Structures are given as structure tokens and as C-alpha cells.
A and B are shown apart, each in its own frame.
Chain A
């Protein structure tokens, strides 16, 4: 990837102007900032626990004590959305971080050493790509009982294979470049070469993939909690939709607003990811354009 090698010199104003050229990405970033602010100030906006009954049950939106209506137990939908933002972002970010660790480690080893190691790691990766990933996530969370940790780990375990493939490709192509040969001749250890030479140069495609993966992780988390596999102590958007599913005929707002929250967050992350792609991989990005 020549693009990756060029990036450090283009950082600073070049990065931002390339990012800002993608209008969707700027809109996405604005939305994402709002959602992050909402998550950060959830306790200030809605000091009460989102599980508390604060209004009459089944209040429609724009009622006096519930802006977006209340649910079947009189809990404020708006409070649930504000507090749920924390859970979604937290799980999205941490599970992506774990997936990046697993994926990049396996991909790096596979691409750097090649041969038998590569064969073995790739068979393992293929196996995980064959397994239906949402089914595996459901099985893992159900068996290890729903909690923040089990959900994060389950999402990470089903999400790392594409990253391993990406990292492997990067490491394989960079492995034969002159600066790596130079590092080998100067007697640097394999670990140093992987860590200090190749990894920094393969970061930009990994960052782009990871940013898109946060979006997928949030969708996965919402699907799990929709099925009742969320952390029972944390209010989350998927749980709110799942709990309101049976009363959809009487109370559309209970499932409508949390769903919009998921949609906007995931959309914003996807847009930001595309903007990052334009900014970090200018050569790749242009290919996709007309």
C-alpha cells in the first residue's frame, strides 16, 4: 500500500480537507458528536435511573412529563435513549477494540511468517467466517449468561475474521518492501519489525475497517438485547424495542424512537468511516468514485 506509506506526510490540514470533501462524512461526524454528548451528559439530562417510573404508563409523545412518551411501565423513553447511548457506544467501542486485537494479531502473524503458520491461521479464520455469526453470538451470550463482558466478548469473537484477512494482506505486501529488508539487515528482532516497522504503515486501512466495525457491533448489540440477551442491569436501545414489540399496535412510539436512535448512530458511524477511508486511503477511495 503506497497510500499508507504516504499518509504520515499528508497528515494535518491534508487529512481534514480530504475528510471534509466528503459531505456525508461531515454530517455523520456532527451527528456522532451529538450522540457522544448525549451519552456523556445522560446523567445531567436525566438524573433519575432510566428504569424508574416517572410518568403514567402509555403516555404518547409530547406529553407533559415524557417528551417522547412513556413505556408500558411508565419509564421515560427519552431517558432510556439518553442512557442507552452509553451502552451502545461502550459496547460498540470495546468489542471492536477486542476484535482488532485478535484480528490484527492473527493477521500479522499469518502474513509475516507465511508458510505453515499462515495456512493454519487462515483455516481457522475461514472456519469462523463459515459459522453463522449472529447464531454464534446468541449461543455464546446465552450460555455464558448475559453481561457486559459476555456480550463484548461474543461480539468480538464473531467480528474479528475480516480484520485478520485485512491485516494479513497488509503484512504480506509490506513484508517484501525495502524498509523491512533494511530493518532485517540491521538485525532488528521479528517482534520489533512487526510492531515498529510494519504495523504503523498498515494502520490506515485497519482504522477504516475498525470504524465501520463499531457500527456493525452496535447493530449486533441491539439485536442481542432485542432478543432479551442484553445486560439485565443496563438500559439499551435494543431492549427498549424488544420490550415494546408486543404492544406495537397500541403504542408505536415505544419502539419507534429507540430504533431511530440506533439507525442514526449506525448511519453516522458508517458515514464517518467512509470519510476516514477517503482521507486515509486516497488512492483506494478514488477507485470507488466515478
Chain B
């Protein structure tokens, strides 16, 4: 047990360092942006006379040396102060917190479904390697892997909303329907079906490929032959002996992909008009609202780091050998 505690605390320390490094990187991005930050802020506030710019420069300490500004910036970040958006007339942190739940529910649902579906399909394909079902899964996977997700989203809207009229295409709930309780939940769930499918499909293809390759490597190993020789039922061999060993690389990559998933939500939320972080990013791009954009960059990085910590934890639970590893 203390081994696991040590492993987790090491990861925690590393995570803190990574977040600090990203914050520093973020700071330099603000300063690398073309144009004077004070002038940009003045432009965002809708006024550009020299006096106001000068006042802003003093107010935000932009006339101080760079390292001092970095110090101020870092102490603000630690206090969850990510600046102020003049466009939206609100602190960036509040804006982000308003939008986070939608993005988290979208990405987490998509991730879990993609992982479960991918592992199941990959296992099926690998155990029947060479048959038509393997070929079918591989071909569909390759195609999903090559399709831009924003386009899949649009095509699903075209099919299921415009032509068939089965599912809603935009937003998180039916406006003005006045649903309560269970109906409201169902309504929200219905609105998530298309976005989650779109985002999940690509990653399902990735996990399917990975699981298939990983199982093909494991399935002919000696311990599997032993299990088979002992006369264990096939499902037990697959689920206990093969899958538990084959799934480790899948978990590693799945952890790495968390960041991609969040990036994908920018596209998905734009296509499906979901009021999440991704949509906020799209609006910030349109309005050139750098404060918000950089806040999103920092927040999504933190989400990814937390997610990687969780994957490490899951990994250490699935793989007993991790206890021995330093």
C-alpha cells in the first residue's frame, strides 16, 4: 500500500510542476502576441486613446520588468484569477466555470463509451482475426479514423435531425418545453446523443485498433496456452487472462488522448451549438478575446493533468506489477 501512496504522490508533485510550467508558457504566449497587450485590452474595452492605454498599462503592471510581471501573473493564477474579459464584461474564471459542466459531461460520456466500445470491438476483431467480422471492424475503424469529426457531426445532423427527425441537432435542452424531473433528464440526454456519438466515434476507432493489436500480441503467449490447456472456458481466458494483460497499453494511450478529446470538443460544441468551453473558445477566436482563449488553454491543460493522474491510478489498480516499479 505505501508503494502505491508513494507512486501517487510522485505523480502529484509532477502534475503540479507540469501545471506551473504550462502557466509560465501561457504567460509568454500573452507577451508573444503581436501588439501591445495594453493596446489590445483597450481595444477590447472599446476605447483606444493614449491616456486610457497608459492607465491600463499601470493598472496591470505592464510597465514593470518581465520577471516581476511573471511573478504577479503566477500569484494570480494560483488564486484562480485568470484575468478579465472586456468583451463579456466578466472575470475569465467565472466564464470558464459556467461552461465547464457541459464540456465535462460531453467529453467524459464520449470517452467512457469510446473506451468500452473500442475494447469490445477490438477484442472481437482480434479473437476472430482474418474473418469477415475482423475485416469489417478494421475497415470501419480505418474510415472513422480518417474522417474529420466536425464533418461526421454535420452528416449525422443531416441524417438524424433533418431527414429522419429523430434527434435534436442543437443545444442542450428543448427551449420553452418546460420539462421537469425525468422528462427533463431524458430531454437533455437526447440532446447529447449526436454530439457524444460524433466525438466518441473517432476515439472508438483508435481504441479498437489498439486493443486489436495488443491482443494479437498477447493471445499466443505461454500463459494463455496454459490457461487453454487447463480447459478454462473461452470467455474466461479472454476476459481474465488475455484482456487484463492486453489492456495496459490501451489505458496508457487513452490517458494521453484526454487532451485530444478536449480539443475535439471545440469542434463538436461549435457544430452542435453546445454552451461549453469549446464553444466559448470558438467565440473567443471570432472575437480575438485572448484573455479567454489563454484561460481556456490553461484550464484544459489542468483538466488533462488531472485526467492523467486518474489514468495512472487506474493503471496501478489494473496492473499489480506497478507496486514493484519505482
Contacts and interface: CB of A to CB of B under 8 A. Distances in A.
A62 interface: no
B151 A138 contact: no
Given A130-B301, A227-B285, A135 B145 contact: no
Interface stretch (A11-19, A35-43, A94-102, A252-260): A252-260
B259 to A, nearest CB: 4
Contact of B151 (A24, A134, A227, A263): A263
Contact of A130 (B151, B213, B259): B259
Interface string B135-176: 000000011011111110011011000100000000000000
A270 B146 contact: yes
A227 to B, nearest CB: 6
Given A130-B259, A135-B262, A288-B216, A263 B18 contact: no
Contact of B297 (A139, A248, A252): A139
Query: Could you say which interface size class chain B belongs to?
Result: 35 or more
B318 to A, nearest CB: 21
Interface stretch (A46-54, A141-149, A182-190, A198-206): A141-149
Interface centre among B130, B158, B305 (most CB of A within 10 A): B158
Contacts of B288: 142
A226 B296 contact: no
Contacts of B155: 256, 259
A215 B146 contact: yes
B200 to A, nearest CB: 16
Interface string A119-160: 000000011011111111111101111000000000000000
Contacts of A132: 258-260, 262-263, 297, 300-301, 304
Contacts of A262: 147-148, 151
A48 B251 CA distance: 51
A129 B304 CA distance: 10
A133 B260 contact: yes
Interface of A: 24, 126-127, 129-140, 142-145, 215, 219, 222-223, 226-229, 238, 241-242, 245, 248-249, 252, 255-256, 259, 262-263, 266-267, 270-271, 287-290
Which 6 A/B pairs are nearest by Cβ-Cβ distance? A134-B263, A290-B129, A132-B259, A259-B151, A267-B146, A266-B146
Interface of B: 18, 21-22, 25, 29, 32-34, 129-130, 142-143, 145-151, 154-155, 157-158, 162, 213, 216-217, 256, 258-260, 262-264, 266-267, 270-271, 281-282, 284-286, 288, 290, 293-294, 296-297, 300-301, 304-305, 308
Given A127-B21, A136-B297, A249-B162, 8 more contacts: A133-B259, A135-B266, A138-B285, A142-B293, A248-B154, A259-B154, A263-B151, A270-B145
